[in-house]
Each structure stands twice: as structure tokens, then as C-alpha cells.
A and B are shown apart, each in its own frame.
Chain A
Amino acid sequence: GENVEQHPSTLSVQEGDSAVIKCTYSDSASNYFPWYKQELGKRPQLIIDIRSNVGEKKDQRIAVTLNKTAKHFSLHITETQPEDSAVYFCAAHRYNFNKFYFGSGTKLNVKP
């Protein structure tokens, strides 16, 4: 099955700096890659996603890049704010398997 690895496990940045979280996947047939943000005690919330036919997608301060050849994708957060502090999860999905495989999460701490 699919194996998703996520790095780093923790990330601490100063407010205003950029943060990058990286994930690798093993199944070359995976074709959809969402990112979720989970605040303490709350549900994971979809913040951005990318399909395998696209290399980059941006939504205001967040962006996701995908390298299909290398089988890795990354989340980029610019101009970080304290409210960006949370645990971020990447996931990989293969349409005809209808399963999502999640990374182990990155705890992002944005220091004011």
C-alpha cells in the first residue's frame, strides 16, 4: 500500500518568516494530495490540495508544490502568523482505491 512520510515533525519559526513542510509518497499511482490543519482539540481542516496534473497551486499565503517524478510534495506558508500554529498533515490519495494515507504530522509553532 501507500506510505506517506512527513518532515519535519516539529517546526518553529518567527512570525513573518516562511515555513515549509515536506512529504514523500511511495505509490506512483497516487493522484490527489490534500493538506490539513488541525488545531488542538479540533477537527482536521482542509486548507489546500493539488492534483497530479498540476505542479503548483497557491491560495493567498499558502502554496503546495508537487514533484511527481520524485514523488514528493510540499506545503509553503509565507508571512507566518501566530494563528498558523497547529499540526499540519499531508495525505495521498489514489482515486480508484478511494483511500487517503496520512503523514504523521508536523507541529508548527509560530513565535510572535
Chain B
Amino acid sequence: DAGVTQSPTHLIKTRGQQVTLRCSPKSGHDTVSWYQQALGQGPQFIFQYYEEEERQRGNFPDRFSGHQFPNYSSELNVNALLLGDSALYLCASSLVSVGQGSYEQYFGPGTRLTVT
């Protein structure tokens, strides 16, 4: 049973560039959430995709956008990179359980983005 996978593992970009990160959810999961984790901090919610639509969004600018594909995989795009965008980007997948009131979320290994 494949867990959550992300690519690439590491990435180095310069200010102003654009980057695309990829995530494949755990088998059987239909929801993908993206988080930004700065060094020494907890994950900060960027947005969540379900049924190929952005369902929820955290306090991140429009430079951060995403997409979900019919196979539930997802991409995170960041435009006009800033130095402050350097962080670990985590993808988490889950299965929405309607009426259950909660669901388990599993994280991928993350992509370490360095902006110089």
C-alpha cells in the first residue's frame, strides 16, 4: 500500500522564479492538503483540494496556487518566489468521511525548497 509521495525531494530556485511541487496521495485517499513548514515551526495550512477543486485556503497570497488531477494527485505552484518562501513543503492526504466528523491525515516526506 503506497503512502504519500512527493517530488522533488530538494529544490533550489532564485528569487522571482516559479516552482511546481508534486504530490501523490496515499492509495484510497481523495483529498490533498498542502502545508508550509518553516524551520522550527509547525506546519502552516496553505490549501486543500477535493474533487479537483480548492476547498479551503489558509492565509497565503495568490502567488500560491494548486491543482488536483482526476487521479487525486496534486501540484503546488508558487510564482515570483521570495526568500521567505524557503521552507519544507508538505503534502498530506486523507479520505473525507461524510458524517464521521473527523478523518486521519497522512503526510508525505516533503520537498525542501531553498530560494536564493
In whole angstroms, what is the CA distance A49 to B102 when docked? 10
| Chain A residues, CB < 8 A from B92 | 100
**CB within 8 Å: A-B pair count:** 64
In whole angstroms, what is the CA distance A104 to B42 when docked? 5
**Docked-complex contact A43 and B105, CB < 8 angstroms:** no
**Docked-complex contact B43 and A95, CB < 8 angstroms:** no
In whole angstroms, what is the CA distance A90 to B50 when docked? 24
| Chain B residues, CB < 8 A from A95 | 100-102
Q: How many residues of B contact A (CB 8 A)?
A: 29
In whole angstroms, what is the CA distance A91 to B42 when docked? 9
Q: A98-B56, A101-B45 are in contact. Are A45 and B107 (CB under 8 A)?
A: yes
**Docked-complex contact B102 and A32, CB < 8 angstroms:** yes
| Chain A residues, CB < 8 A from B44 | 102
Mark out the residues of chain B between 16 and 61 whose CB falls within 8 Å of any chain A CB in the assembled complex. 31, 33, 35, 40-45, 48, 50, 55-56, 58
Contact of B105 among A34, A52, A103, A104 (CB under 8 A): A34
- Residue among A51, A98, A102, A105 with the highest chain B CB neighbour number at 10 A: A98
Contact of A100 among B101, B105, B108 (CB under 8 A): B105
Could you write out 24 A-B pairs with CB less than 8 Å apart?
A31-B101, A32-B102, A34-B104, A34-B105, A36-B107, A43-B4, A43-B108, A45-B107, A46-B105, A46-B106, A51-B102, A89-B42, A91-B42, A93-B102, A95-B101, A95-B102, A98-B56, A100-B92, A101-B45, A102-B43, A102-B45, A104-B41, A104-B42, A105-B42
Q: Spell out B's residues near A (CB within 8 Å).
A: 4, 31, 33, 35, 40-45, 48, 50, 55-56, 58, 90, 92, 96, 100-110
